A and B are shown apart, each in its own frame.
Chain A
Amino acid sequence: SQQGEEDPQALSIQEGENATMNCSYKTSINNLQWYRQNSGRGLVHLILIRSNEREKHSGRLRVTLDTSKKSSSLLITASRAADTASYFCATDKAGGTSYGKLTFGQGTILTVHP
């Protein structure tokens, strides 16, 4: 499997429900970031969590990071139709000469039905 792999690949829910997406990675990281991409558009940065942080909130978003399991989760509460998009996690590998380049997973396609 690849660094920064999301699960599930696709998620379909009703408006108002919560959506949880998971990301697993293989190497030690400096930080992990979540991005959203609407169909055919660029990426929008959602949240960054550093390797020494365990949980972070931003509005309706909650991100957790478990470095012992090399995994992260993104929770979107009270989802809206406008949350329909692809969600990617991206890791910045620690050490070496990574120079902050991000490794992206394949993404989770979230569909929120009105």
Chain B
Amino acid sequence: NAGVMQNPRHLVRRRGQEARLRCSPMKGHSHVYWYRQLPEEGLKFMVYLQKENIIDESGMPKERFSAEFPKEGPSILRIQQVVRGDSAAYFCASSPLGQGTYTQYFGPGTRLTVL
């Protein structure tokens, strides 16, 4: 059973470009969480999605950031018009149920560098 997969592992963008980060949850998991980790800090929750639904996006910046988890295919975290402050590691995690009683399994992360 493959783990959570994220790609790309490293992404370099210039200011003003768009970044698209992909996450494929573990087989059988229908709940996806995105977290952001700034250098030397812990992870911060961004958004929680189920298939075709955004359940909780309380951690998402109000502008430029969006997320989706379509019926088919991976979950996508999209950052428009990136700025240097967006440079961070972005992790997604998946779980079989979203009620907090199951372990979240994390992917290897995408390290975004904005030049």
Contacts and interface: CB of A to CB of B under 8 A. Distances in A.
Does A pair with B? yes
Given A100-B31, A101-B56, A30 B101 contact: yes
**B interface, how many residues as a size bin?**
20 to 34
A32 to B, nearest CB: 11
A102 to B, nearest CB: 6
B22 to A, nearest CB: 15
B100 A31 contact: yes
Interface in B47-102: 48, 55-56, 59, 91, 93, 95, 97-102
B42 A42 contact: no
Interface in A85-114: 88, 90, 92, 97-107
Interface of A: 4, 30-31, 33, 35, 40-45, 48, 50, 88, 90, 92, 97-107
